[in-house]
Structure 1
Amino acid sequence: MNETRAVIEAYFRAFNADDTAAMLDCLAEDVAHHVNEGQVRVGRQAFGEFCTHMSYCYAEQLTDMVVFASEDGTRAAAEYTVNGTYKATDSGLPEATGQTYRLPAGSFFSVRDGLISRVVTYYNLADWIRQVS
């Protein structure tokens, strides 16, 4: 369980540092990335491309982090607050003008051989749209 918590915490430290390479180091090669309101992406390369896009459109820091891990270390979850700035207009979403937002969010993980093999992220998209509109 401690190894699972450690990889999840490293993943989020890398996120807050905007360090995609360090995030990718936490992931299994065949990671399945389930994003809120989107398609499942499979593999580190697809995850890295998603991160590049997100870093272009958004600047985010996660606070109030609480990480949970199953006793067998194969699953984990995290609850946190997303504090962000909408930097560049994302396709199909309101126009970006530097709006700030604050959202509760959560992620669920599967862990295999010390690496994250599944990431599922949830937040309230309607609340985000309200905050940036």
Structure 2
Amino acid sequence: MTDATQFAEIRNELEIYNLPVDEWSAALTAINGTGSYTKKDGTVLGAPFKPDDIQKFKDGSDPWGHPNTDWYKSTLKDWSLNNVIISRLMEEQKMLNIYCHWVTKIKMLITKILQPVTNSMIYVLTLTQT
């Protein structure tokens, strides 16, 4: 991720790529130095961010006009930790569901196996009582 200074520098460079290739080097030097470049045809190309703007982003001297928020630290880092925790909890839930499924299957199997025995015992008990 980029900070505000890197974004401003990249945004200025994007303006240069609209020029013919043979002007790129001179335009980059002029944009970084003065904030503007005079093309071969005499028109002036102004940078979206002047050198003093970039400096204010770097040194933090104007936090209201030129903020430099670390968005990774402010938002994404904690979210990625939460994402890992949520993934782990979902995995544990999946394992619990599998466990419950197999416990149910085993109970059904035991019931099937013991059902004839239980029925026989009831039949035997009823025969002996009369």
For the superposition of Structure 1 and Structure 2, which TM-score range results when normalised by the shorter chain? under 0.3
Query: Highest CA radius of gyration, 1 or 2?
Result: 2
Relative to total residues, which structure has the larger strand share, 1 or 2? 1
What is the TM-score with the length of structure 1 in the denominator? 0.19
**Larger RCO (alpha carbons 8 Å, 6+ apart):** 1
